Amino acid sequence: MKVAVLDIKGKETGRKVDLSDAVFKIEPNNHAIYLDVKQYRAHQRQGTHKTKERAEIVGSTRKIKKQKGTGTARAGSIKSPIFRGGGRIFGPRPKDYSLKLNKNLKRLARKSALSIKNQEKAIMVVEDFNFETPKTKEFIQVLKGLGLENKKSLFVLGDSNNNVYLSSRNLGGSEVVTNSELSTYKILNANNIVLLEGSLEGIESNLNK
């Protein structure tokens, strides 16, 4: 599949690159996408939620009133969950939410997500670029040139580029990742995918193993 290469101003450079049909043009597997996104979101959870139960509350163990003759229910401790300041019944405990998926399924999910974006005509290839210093203003000019200033975009680099990354960090609608950091969730969460030329070889080699 031939795709025109654009410059940072959104104009065609006159060159074309060949995108692998095995990565960008497969029949999407929705269940694989579901499992991979579920794993990604589960791994964002710390699982450190905790409340104190009856045995963990600091307080007196004295019986607070006599057993009979009060006309109310018997009560043995101020730490009882029915009293204010008492322990919580069946409260949350620390939990590991991580899920395990095999590598082939995760590759299938990423290829499916890229294929969906390709069907939506939401993938563009841009020649490699760099900034001398991190400047958000320069990155905004790139977004305007590509017509993405009001859209959620994902830029995929071949190698880590600190200046480009820092220039985009203040912009909530854009994210910059390397080809090894590409995930199904990030692909689907963006309206447009911008692949830099230097990232194509890494993407295809990672997903064609």
> Are residues 8 and 66 both part of a single domain?
no
* Structural domain containing residue 61: 51-91
Helix pair angle (30-43, 103-119), 10° resolution: 110
Q: What is the DSSP string of 148-160?
A: -TTS-EEEEESS-
* pLDDT on residue 159: 87
* pLDDT on residue 48: 95
In a domain, 161, yes or no: yes
Decide which of 91, 122, 144 is a domain's last residue. Answer: 91
Give the position of tokens 């009060």. 70
In a domain, 96, yes or no: no
> Are residues 13 and 30 both part of a single domain?
yes
List for the chain the helix, strand, coil content (%; round to 5): 35, 15, 50
> Are residues 85 and 108 both part of a single domain?
no
> Are residues 123 and 168 both part of a single domain?
yes
In a domain, 118, yes or no: yes
Query: How far apart are the two ends of the chain, measured CA to CA in Å?
Result: 20
> Are residues 82 and 179 both part of a single domain?
no
**What is the block-wise mean pLDDT of the chain (209 residues), using blocks of 10 residues?**
89 90 94 97 95 92 91 91 92 94 96 95 93 93 92 92 92 92 95 93 89
CATH number of the domain encompassing residue 130: 3.40.1370.10
> Are residues 118 and 134 both part of a single domain?
yes
In a domain, 58, yes or no: yes
Measured CA to CA in angstroms, residue 86 lies from 50, 53, 76, 81 at distances of 15, 8, 12, 5
> Are residues 38 and 66 both part of a single domain?
no
- Residue 97: both structure tokens together: 């939410």
Measured CA to CA in angstroms, residue 34 lies from 13, 44, 91, 105, 122 at distances of 37, 16, 29, 11, 20
> Are residues 42 and 120 both part of a single domain?
yes
Looking at the 3D structure of the chain, how many domains does it have? 2
Strands 123-126 and 174-178: unpaired
> Are residues 201 and 158 both part of a single domain?
yes
What is the pTM for the complete model shown?
Answer: 0.83
Give the position of tokens 């995918």. 193
> Are residues 148 and 169 both part of a single domain?
yes
In a domain, 7, yes or no: yes
> Are residues 64 and 36 both part of a single domain?
no
Give the distance from CA 69 to its chain's centroid.
Answer: 61
> Are residues 154 and 181 both part of a single domain?
yes
